[in-house]
């Protein structure tokens, strides 16, 4: 063999002889030293060659990635994005997630920056998260006969407003195998506390469309009942559910290849022969249901409000509405919902909230929104499908800019009574001699501002 390493190993075998050296004892120490040195040299050369090869591969792969179409995460996520996108989100432009029975769209924070569809979307999601808004928004469309699979949310309460259609709802609370079930129609609100199993079944032929708010600024964590079933070992399912046939029957279930978050089998008529849409007693239903469209309207100069909220004294609430009010208040991190209607060319005057972030979805009309923070201000046009975010304490206003009414569905991140201060209130609540000193105007000039109605 040409490799001297192997030759040296041959010479060092005990009792071995070399040609021309008969009778001479082998020099064992010298041979072992040579073997060690040659082995060390071979290892060093091998390691050096390997490192060089890996370096070349790394450089080549880096160059391929640099020239590929895969976008790298930006060094500064807010760089080059207009400040208004901290507060404005164009939902119609976002990705639509399609399922067999319907669609879902999101306006939310995402842990992976590459999951955002645009820099503006990322700016909005980051704004919700960094300000700890306790708000996430989504739209849920369910086709006729479709089902939002029974599921629960680990980290959020859910508040839904049915914009169109009708649906049959089921809610299962703690230590209770009996569902509270009820039917909702357009203009009504549903409330699903954190970790309650719930489903939504479209009970009509027309698509139903829900506008959903969730009380989290983190990425929403959800588990569907079918996923929980298929991820549980077969023997555990058999022992827990005790079906006829045991494990053999459990093995007849097959996980569909497509996500069934919104489910609608093609052979639904073959699968279901008898369905009923029962209505639970009012004291149970009103823990999770509120007729927002049919509730009392509260006028203000320029428009009206309707509320689905907690009120400390219960004033103005019916007995059923009080059930809903108390249900909101007894769960942590719930939301307040409202419908805001601003008359054509009317104004929702500047104000801010002490104890809640605000999110608003534009249902109809056209208008303008303004947000004032410490050291910055943004004013921007808004239209149907836009989502707005006003952080706690930031002064903001809304106004209609056309003859049509501007209508929004609003959510506030509090289950307590909402606390608000309007510009007219704090302006007139400040002593006129303080205002004179602040604005460099004579004290009597401030008598020209009419006092706000109580």
Is a pLDDT exceeding 70 seen at residue 226?
yes
Average pLDDT over residues 360-377: 96
Question: Listing from the earlier edge strand, what are the strands of the sheet with 303-308?
Answer: 88-90, 386-390, 358-364, 406-412, 336-342, 303-308, 298-300
CA distance 326 to 310: 7
SS3 452: coil
Confidence at 42, pLDDT banded by 50, 70, 90: low
Q: Could you tell me what percent of the chain has a pLDDT over 70?
A: 82
Q: Among 128-137, 170-179, 393-402, where is mean pLDDT lowest?
A: 170-179
pLDDT at 111 (0 to 100): 95
Average pLDDT over residues 174-187: 94
Candidates 2.60.40.10, 3.40.50.150, 2.60.120.10, 1.10.645.10; correct CATH number of 291-439?
Answer: 2.60.120.10
Average pLDDT over residues 55-64: 45
Mean pLDDT, rounded, of the chain: 87
Q: List CB contacts of 5: < 8 A, sequence separation 6 or more.
A: 35, 38, 39, 42
CA distance 133 to 353: 13
Average pLDDT over residues 328-340: 97
pLDDT in tens, 237-282: 999 999 999 999 999 999 999 999 999 999 999 999 888 999 999 9
pLDDT at 64 (0 to 100): 37
pLDDT in tens, 285-324: 999 999 999 999 999 999 999 999 999 998 889 999 999 9
What are the start and end residues of each CATH 2.60.120.10 domain in the chain?
A: 83-266+275-285, 291-439
Average pLDDT over residues 176-180: 89
83-266+275-285 folds as: Jelly Rolls (2.60.120)
Confidence at 5, pLDDT banded by 50, 70, 90: very low
Q: Among 53-62, 85-94, 105-114, where is mean pLDDT lowest?
A: 53-62
R_g over Cα of the chain: 34
Q: Tokens standing for 357? A: 């972030």
pLDDT at 41 (0 to 100): 63
């Amino acid at each position: 063999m040409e490799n001297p390493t192997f030759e040296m190993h041959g010479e060092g075998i005990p009792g071995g002889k070399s040609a021309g050296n008969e009778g001479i004892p082998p020099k064992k120490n010298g041979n072992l030293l040579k073997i060690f040195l040659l082995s060390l040299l071979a290892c060093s050369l091998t390691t050096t060659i390997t490192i060089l090869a890996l370096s070349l591969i790394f450089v080549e792969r880096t160059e391929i990635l640099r020239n590929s179409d895969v976008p790298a995460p930006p060094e500064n996520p807010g760089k080059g994005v207009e400040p208004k996108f901290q507060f404005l989100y164009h939902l119609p432009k976002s990705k639509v997630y399609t399922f067999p029975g319907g669609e879902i769209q999101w306006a939310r924070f995402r842990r992976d920056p590459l999951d955002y569809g645009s820099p503006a979307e990322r700016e909005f999601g980051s704004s919700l998260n960094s300000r700890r808004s306790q708000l996430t928004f989504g739209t849920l469309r369910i086709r006729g006969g479709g089902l939002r699979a029974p599921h629960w949310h680990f980290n959020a309460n859910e508040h839904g407003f049915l914009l169109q259609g009708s649906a049959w709802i089921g809610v299962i609370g703690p230590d209770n195998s009996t569902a509270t079930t009820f039917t909702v129609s357009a203009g009504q609100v549903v409330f699903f506390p954190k970790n309650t199993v719930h489903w939504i079944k479209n009970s009509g032929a027309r698509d139903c469309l829900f506008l959903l708010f969730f009380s989290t600024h983190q990425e929403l964590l959800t588990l569907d009942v079918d996923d929980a079933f298929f991820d549980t070992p077969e023997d555990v399912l058999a022992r827990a559910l005790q079906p006829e046939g045991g494990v053999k029957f459990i093995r007849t279930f097959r996980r569909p290849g497509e996500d069934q978050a919104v489910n609608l089998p093609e052979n639904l008529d073959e699968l279901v022969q008898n369905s009923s849409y029962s209505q639970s007693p009012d004291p149970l239903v009103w823990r999770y249901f509120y007729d927002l469209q049919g509730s009392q309207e509260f006028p203000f100069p320029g428009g009206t409000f309707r509320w689905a909220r907690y009120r400390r004294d219960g004033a103005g609430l019916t007995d059923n509405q009080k059930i809903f009010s108390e249900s909101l208040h007894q769960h942590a991190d719930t939301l307040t919902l409202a419908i805001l209607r601003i008359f054509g060319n009317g104004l929702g005057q500047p104000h801010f909230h002490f104890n809640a972030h605000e999110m608003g979805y534009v249902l109809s009309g056209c208008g303008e929104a303004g947000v004032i923070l410490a050291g910055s201000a943004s004013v921007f046009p808004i239209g149907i499908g836009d989502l707005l975010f006003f952080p706690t304490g930031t002064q903001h206003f809304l106004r209609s800019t056309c003859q049509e009414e501007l209508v929004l569905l609003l959510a506030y991140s509090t289950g307590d009574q909402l606390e608000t201060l309007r510009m007219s209130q704090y302006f007139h609540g400040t002593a006129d001699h303080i205002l004179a000193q602040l604005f460099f105007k004579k004290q009597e000039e401030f008598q020209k501002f009419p006092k706000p109605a109580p």
